[in-house]
Amino acid sequence: MNTIAQLLTPSSIALDVDADSKARLFEQAGTVFERSAGLPRAVVSASLAAREKLGSTGLGQGIAIPHGRIKGLAKATGAFIRLAAPIAFEAPDGKPVQQLFVLLVPEHATEEHLQLSFRDKLATAANGQDLIELFRAWEAA
């Protein structure tokens, strides 16, 4: 089982979520983490929004990996959110985002979140097949 699968539970998956902006998406993500991990939704939303101000976490191909650091969090936790309709996310390819893996890590985490997302490789993938190959290689490791 890969690391992402270990971070997900049925209560951390939300499908066909209504959100028409990043701000609304982050509020909805806060609700998911409140339900699945007992985290205060406002804290989650604020953390995700603060990180997003540094630059878009949109990867392209309709995918984004918003992430944030949470004070007092013991270990990384994640959620998968599929939006009912795609939203603008300033992704490198300019395409709106509809599928998101949201990652929260402890405040003092080092590279754990980078290893989980391997964002740089995903951001430079030229097409969907390249993304699939990245995931296959990662799962086999």
Task: Please tell me which residue in 59, 67, 113, 117 is annotated as part of the active site.
Answer: 67
Active site annotation includes 108 = no
The CA distance from 136 to 107, in Å, is: 30
Beta-bridge partner residues of 69: 105
In sequence order, what DSSP letters do the residues of 20-72 get, joined into one string? Answer: SSHHHHHHHHHHHHHHHH---HHHHHHHHHHHHHTS--EEETTEE--EEEETT
**Residues annotated catalytic, as ranges:** 67
